[in-house]
Structure 1
Amino acid sequence: MAKNGSSLLHYVNKSTSTPVLFTEDTVEDSSIVSNDATTAIGALILSLVFLLGVPGNLFIIWSILARARRRSVTTLLILNLACADGFLMCLTIFFVIYLARQNWDFGNPMCKGLFYLCNTNMYASIFLITLMSLHRLVAVVWPHRVAALASKKTVVRAIAVMWVLVFFISIPALLFREVRDDHDEQNKTRLVCASGHTLSQHVVYQYTFETVVGFLVPYGVIVSSYICILRRLRQTKFRRKVRSEKLILAIVVMFGIFWLPYHSINIIEVVAEQFEDGSTMKKRLDMVWQPSRAVTSALAFISSCANPILYTFAGKSYIREDGMAFMARLFEGTSLDTGIRKGTGLKDALSFSSTGGNAVKNEK
């Protein structure tokens, strides 16, 4: 029987007691819940993610809403990213319990809903980072047009459209996820939250779409934007480092590091579906993606708790002077778009960005 994966966590179903929902043609997925070692490792990783990610993202949200006096477009995008990541981190406690007990105790609606929300976070994160990169592109390459092309009002509308879009394109994760019975090696029955595609073509469609739309296309836009930004900066004599560019570039790189393995496994699984069951090539590809799925899924979760750590390192120079408000000062220091106004050139705009922290302090 051909096998498939699912978004973020994947589960074994060696046999099923629900033939009404899943016929012999159902393409079932493989998972880590049948292995004591991998479930223990997965539960430990997700526990650490929960402990770091929830307070970290809540601190970002508090810093922006309560302490930041200048809310730029970049800050607004970071706020949305922190809300998406923080909400996902709150959901990890359900997966920790699932992995620890090796049994799904939360019912079918939660099974569908939790994995659906995981997918929306994946799309929202990469789309928000893409919007950050496009905004930097307009601000640096066309600084005099930023008010018209990338104003705060325009970006707010783009964010609203983005959220509607991500909730729509994540529907496949909602449709293909079900709770079903499974029997382990000791023939004990347990409930698993697993996906079951009725056709192998559904596997190919879902994971090809997920990788292309959720990674390849937006990441291509991001890379192209930064190539244009670097070319523009090289054309100027202004060589000072820009805080906002460095911070956003670090976010982009961090996201790529944690999500590239996951999407690589998606591609391998899709390629495996092109070969007949029992063929040598299919067996080799299955041996690559099946044991790797748990690890790459855990890395994907880690990406949502990495940004608070990244911001802390980026804003460490503010900690001694500003205390708990250090992250708010960091975000105020990245307000490149605030400094670009009518009559302001690229050099002046970049100068404002790289000295944003001092500008804030001078206002006191």
Structure 2
Amino acid sequence: MTGSDVTRGGVEGARPGRDALTGARTGRRRRRRGRGEQAMVPDVEFSSYYGKPILNRPTWKPLDIAGYLYLGGLAGASSLLAAGAHVTGRPGLARAAKLGASGAISVSLAALVHDLGRPARFQNMLRIFKPTSPMNLGSWLLVGYVPLTVAAAAADVSGRHRIVGAAATAGAAALGPAVATYTAVLLSDTAVPSWHEGHREMPFVFAGSGATAAAGLALACAPWQETGPARRLAVLGAGLELGAFRLMKQRMGLAAEPYEQGKQQRLLRAAEALTAGGAALAAFAGRQGPRAGGALPMAYAGWRGLAGGRSRLLTVAAGAALLAGSAALRFGVFHAGVASAEDPKYTVVPQRERLEARARSDGR
């Protein structure tokens, strides 16, 4: 383009709406250099050619993939809880956790295959072993983990092959932490801004969320007298989940903005309230029931039954709140990532900030 191409009406031959926006609508404001001077380039708004987003919107189905994220965390943490209950002689808690892990991971795998479209696509991921691919490693992880959880649950229910069941329980517990957190690595490894920018804290968020879900399932299904470890897990998991999530948003900068908008904001606020409330209720319920051991006067017999029934209701309510809170978190994170991919601002601004920071450091 030469000087003769520019006229008072603009660039000669320009086609409005067909070129990249560089002026009033691209997003950044230049400072005024003097009192009477105005910037040559006004405020800009981020856009792209033909109105297309910079990133392709994730095509994953929300119910399938967000459900896959949630159930995987529930299963992995439940395997850890099952192993602990098995070792400490809590058969009711161990059975609830084993059945929960087996059922959750089976439905999670079915949701993943349903999103892929046909089982052959999952099988194709097993044709190679690629350590640099979270999806490939996750596929191999599921192949090893699913049979272990099923074997542990089957041995517990049938009462047979106890040695095999104990070995399967231990193996599932060894893989459980990876199953609960690898989906965070899977999301963070994408170019989606609100997932990628949280790669440091996202595994801790998912670990805490999986712990609260597993604790919630145990509180709702296991005998009240054996739920002590689940109540403690609920408190620890809630603290990890809520603390890591807040830290993640603080460090993400602009990419944290989608978490505060739309339906994902409502889901995440509900998740925070349900998780914190469920953990508090679980801790409170543990203090309300009758204490085991010791002879009580007959006058206290009726109180003991009443207190136990009330504690059981509080425990089930706490478990339901924790399960719902963990699910709301996973769905909120999923929708926030999709929203960030649809707006080019969340891709462009962090990239420019990183380039400017690198240029300043090189200039020193």
The structure carrying a bigger strand percent of its residues is: 1
Fold conserved between structures, TM > 0.5: no
Instruction: Give the TM-score category using the shorter length.
Output: 0.3 to 0.5
Q: TM-score, normalised by structure 2?
A: 0.37
Q: TM-score, normalised by structure 1?
A: 0.37
- Higher alpha-carbon Rg: 2
